[in-house]
Amino acid sequence: MSLQLKPLHHWFAAQASGLDLTQPPSDADLRAINAAMNRYAVLVFRGQPLTAQQQIAFTSKFGPLDIGLKRVFKRPERLEDERLIDISNVDAQGHVAQRDSPKNLSNFANQLWHSDSSFMNPRAAYSMLHCLIKPSWGGNTEFADLRHAYDSLDERTKADIQNLKAEHFALHTRILLGDEAYTDEQKKAIPPAVWPLADTHPGSGRKVLFVGVHARQILGWPTAESRIFLSDLLEHATRPENVYAHEWEPGDLVIWDNRSTLHRGRRYDLAERRELRRTTINDTPEAMLMAA
């Protein structure tokens, strides 16, 4: 079988079928997935019962894996393999985490519109999120298309952002959520990354409006003016018509491109278990992203 696609939204996101992701993909499959990612930016595979190692093996075909902030914050982890990012409300002992736990703090940060690891250089290219257990209510993941966000800017704003760069800082979301307990040393360990606001997506050549909640400052601008403009641009990028909302089923694998989309988790009952596993590849020259 080969990759089949069915659009899930007017201009991005598609349901993908025809491949068994528990098996190693062929080069032709990889090229087809990359081409589909360049076109749709979000792909939804249903009914893929991946083990942790199968997910890692599949993801590794696309490039070197990224472990995000784990490099800096060494915390007790539930999942053995550090290349898996535990997107769950379950603590290291396997219990549903306390409402006010550090685990839930990161989950709340994931409920703000963001691009994974945009505060690092290299940043993340693809993220792959696999659902194991979903709560009985809520907990969708929403995606916004940054290519359409760019294309639909008014001409004046497009011109205004052409040469602007924004600084993306890892702790900005944590600080927004009231978690200020970081030492200067910890802050220094994660220097901000800088990306153009009007960026070009390497795989498709399309322009993107590269915003998100990690962006805290436009270089050379006064802070207040820069934060208002960034929040205006984020509001534009995430207008309801530019959003695809994914309703999870166990066995789903959703792949998104962090350079051309934003995403956020939605609220659910924290007393119920929600378990997903993420693998992410870094946007490095080795990544097989141009293969299409």
From residue 136 to residue 155, the character string flagging contacts with ligand OGA as x (rule: CB under 6 A) and all else as - is -----x--------------
User: Restricting to residues 4-23, which ones interact with ligand OGA according to CB under 6 A?
Assistant: none
Q: Is 257 in the site for ligand OGA (CB under 6 A)?
A: no
Report CA-CA distances (Å) from 256 to 82, 93, 107: 21, 30, 18
Taking the C-alpha atoms of residue 203 and residue 212, their distance in angstroms, rounded to an integer, is: 20
**Given the complex with Mn ion, which of 128 and 149 has the nearer CB atom?**
128
The DSSP code for 266 is -
Q: Is 263 in the site for ligand OGA (CB under 6 A)?
A: yes
CB of 121 to Mn ion, least distance (A): 17
User: Restricting to residues 59-118, which ones interact with Mn ion according to CB under 5 A?
Assistant: 116
Position 11: which residue type?
A: W
Give the interface size with ligand OGA as a residue count (CB under 6 A): 10
Q: What count of other Cβ atoms lies within 10 Å of the Cβ of residue 161?
A: 21
Taking the C-alpha atoms of residue 57 and residue 34, their distance in angstroms, rounded to an integer, is: 16
From residue 76 to residue 115, the character string flagging contacts with ligand OGA as x (rule: CB under 6 A) and all else as - is -----------x----------------------x-----
Taking the C-alpha atoms of residue 181 and residue 172, their distance in angstroms, rounded to an integer, is: 12
Q: What count of other Cβ atoms lies within 10 Å of the Cβ of residue 215?
A: 29
CB of 258 to ligand OGA, least distance (A): 9
**Given the complex with ligand OGA, which of 86 and 167 has the nearer CB atom?**
86
Residue 141: contacted member of ligand OGA, Mn ion, none (CB under 5 to 8 Å, by partner type): ligand OGA
CA neighbours within 13 Å on the CB side: how many for 233? 31
Taking the C-alpha atoms of residue 86 and residue 107, their distance in angstroms, rounded to an integer, is: 10
Positions touching ligand OGA (CB under 6 A) are 87, 110, 116, 127, 129, 141, 263, 265, 276, 278
